[in-house]
Chain A
């Protein structure tokens, strides 16, 4: 099955710098692979069973990332609008997928960094979609078996393609590609497409950021534990006022 893996399409919120006036900046921060991206890649390679895996990313993400993990080639959508406009990012990714013929599944890291892109991509493609996916395999009849976590339950679904699967990882990547794989990956083909060529100019979501501010939730009350007994008494008194003990 031919598979597209969408990778490195968001920035790690932990990399954001917040200044004293609550302004957010991203000095030198690039789009990064989330913890979930390698899991999506791993499932993709297994599902493809030798068929083509195409990496799809946006912006200036390193094209070697998917290629070093088994993708045959990479497509980069450049010039997607800003972060606030996830619908346009999702639409551009969907359009890029649509232009590739014969795709059986689109896999994307189900990254909490920006759930909006995942929803927008799945919605724009209009394909059956499942999020929270932890595993996927092909049955002997060639049908997709998708495992996902749903609250406290583990659910197995049968899916008839083409489908969108948002994959969630439960641990860090085990076999990170080495220098050799990365160097070889850099020789694989990478193609750039401008978002403006993919998106109908009419798709304008008219979002405008009005800036950032600190939330008005009070900061934690932090007690010095130098004197453990006094600290515990203070804590218990506070928990009483909260009504939780």
Chain B
């Protein structure tokens, strides 16, 4: 119990340092890495919203980009045709994402597993097709360029525009991530995990599992739309690529590689995938292959996600110690055993 308390303090300290670093980032980083960091923050929100479905509720969606794109196009269309201010446009984007989820939810939640995967993919492709073909309104495959990027008013002139938008993103994403943290730790979030593990059992206990999944689907849609709206402002344009299932697949990879069903996993996954994409491609044209190799290694070496790296290291160290010497470490290993068995239980949950 004592160890637990110490760990909790450590955790607080680490989160605090992380927060300070994020706040100071504009002072520490040149503009280009700062804009990459902005993108990482936005994709962290996107991956975390997908994680509500994929990791917590066990619903493998390959159509999450539909919400991202809905948010983006809401922002783009409002900016182009009505000149709506950013704060209002982002709210409307979230509402649009939630509406799409409310409408499609009852249909997709009739299916499970692979069928859920394909149905979400199909609906996303239909939406993609509409956006692609409705050239007069959406600009077709050229998209809607020239979305004016919002700024935090009192910082204008004091810091660069890149830093300004970074802070805007940090605030919005920070609030959203805190909300997600609260949601997944609430009884609601724990019930979702229960559904993932054994839906029938939870149903037997009297949980309204369908409603819980529906709510999770709607929440995930709203957060993804928020990320999409921010992204459209960040890039200054919105195009069908932001609805494409490829983006949904990338989000899925971020969640899985980082650690599905863990809170920080998607953030780490987003960091990894975007850094690979932008940094490796600056060195070699073969970055696609390197991305593929990293995926495979990640899956084979850290199947529970990068988030488990410390546990993996501890496991391997313990195993090595057991194998090399005999008597004293054996006692140590058995002493550590209960702890690890607990972890294994968690990993299964």
B is bound to A: no
A residues near B (Cβ < 8 Å) are none
Residues of B at under 8 Å CB distance from A? none
